[in-house]
Amino acid sequence: MSGERGFRGGGIQTGEEGKAMHQHQYFQEGDMRCFARTIMIGLAVLSAMALMVTPQAFAAKASFDSPPGEPPYGLAVHGNAGGTKLYGTIEIELINPDAGFAEARAVVRLRKGNTVKVFYSGLLLDVNYSNPPLYQDAVAQALKTEILNGFFPGESNLCIWLKAASELGVSASYQESGANFRFEMMDVEIAVNTCSAQ
């Protein structure tokens, strides 16, 4: 046996066969550790979503955006809205915020199935960011036509509803070229349906 001994019944093996068995066992254990870690992360994410996404009563159509507090941050949401779902992240830049008003620019990245698109609001003047419904309406009105034309070209009588808002993040204030600004980012889920459907 050229110095190789094997105890097949006891599961102890040497030589090439034992080496292969050891490698197989190592990869199995590695796969199990990876699987367990993935499950734990998945459960943590689901728990966070369950805690943070709290749908409130419907308050407005063509909805969006973000001041601080608990989800949905004072925004008008419609958790039971039907229709096509779009998921993504919105980022708003507030320029020279002062006494609750600022110029603003919004960028939203949305996914519909396997299609991802990015939309820009243009520069919005005198946005009342201290009043969530007014803030939401200003951004929604600036973005909704872009979103509808991008995902539903040629279709009419469509409205957008904000279904959920979570993971609000607000940056520190920055100065550049004589301007003050800060950023707000938030995960959103919106529904698109005929305006008479809700």
Q: Give the residue from 126, 127, 152, 146 showing the smallest Cα distance to 137.
A: 127
Give Cβ neighbours of residue 150 (< 8 Å, ≥ 6 apart): 117, 119
- List pLDDT tens digits, range 159-173: 999 999 888 899 999
The whole-model pTM stands at: 0.62
Q: Is the pLDDT of residue 99 over 60?
A: yes
The residue that leads in pLDDT, 9 or 129, is 129
Full DSSP string of 135-181: HHHHHHHHHHHHHHHHHSTT--SEEEEEEEEEEEEEPPPEEETTEEE
Please identify which residue in the block is written with the tokens 């036509």: 145
How many CB atoms neighbour CB 191 within 10 A? 22
Q: Is the pLDDT of residue 60 over 60?
A: no
pLDDT more than 70, % of the chain: 63
Where do the structural domains in the chain lie, given as residue ranges? 1-52, 84-194
- pLDDT of 57: 28
Give Cβ neighbours of residue 196 (< 8 Å, ≥ 6 apart): 157
- pLDDT of 149: 95
How far is the C-alpha of 138 from the C-alpha of 7, rounded, in Å?
Answer: 76
Mean pLDDT of the 135-154 span: 94
Instruction: Sort strands 12-13 and 84-98 into parallel, antiparallel or unpaired.
Output: unpaired
- pLDDT of 70: 63
The residue that leads in pLDDT, 85 or 21, is 85
Q: Is the pLDDT of residue 16 over 80?
A: no
The residue that leads in pLDDT, 60 or 100, is 100
- pLDDT of 80: 86
Mean pLDDT of the chain: 75
Q: Is the pLDDT of residue 14 over 60?
A: no
Instruction: Sort strands 174-176 and 101-112 into parallel, antiparallel or unpaired.
Output: unpaired
